Amino acid sequence: MTVHIILTMIALVLILVSGTWYAKKRFKISLAVMGLGAIAFFVSSQVLEKMVHLLILHPQKDGTIPLMQEQPFLYVLYGIAMAALFEETARLIFFKWLEKKRKLEDRDALAYGLGHGGLELLYLGMGSLIGLLILFSFIQSSNTDVANLLPKTTLEMVQSLSVWQVYLLGVERVLALVLQIGLSIWVYQSVSQKKWLYLFVAYGLHALFDLAPALSQVGWIANPLLVEFILLVELLVFIWLTKSTFWKKS
pLDDT of residue 50: 94
What pLDDT, on a 0 to 100 scale, did the predictor assign at position 155? 65
d(CA 77, CA 211): 8
Contact predicate 196/190, CB 8 Å: yes
C-alpha torsion angle, residues 222, 132, 164, 223 (rounded to 10): 0
What is the per-residue pLDDT for 148?
63
What pLDDT does 250 receive?
A: 44
For 106, residues 6+ apart whose C-beta sits below 8 A from its C-beta are 188, 250
Report d(CA 218, CA 169) in Å as an integer: 18
pLDDT at 235: 96
Q: What is the pLDDT along the chain (250 residues), one digit of tens a residue?
A: 788 999 999 999 999 999 999 999 999 999 999 999 999 999 999 999 999 999 999 888 767 888 888 999 999 999 999 999 999 999 999 999 999 999 999 999 999 999 999 999 999 999 989 988 887 777 776 555 655 666 666 666 776 778 888 899 999 999 999 999 999 999 999 999 999 999 999 999 999 999 999 999 999 998 999 999 999 999 999 999 999 999 865 4
Spell out the domain ranges in the chain: 1-244
Please count the other Cβ atoms lying within 10 Å of the Cβ belonging to residue 167. 15
Identify the pLDDT of residue 237. 97
Amino acid present at 29: I
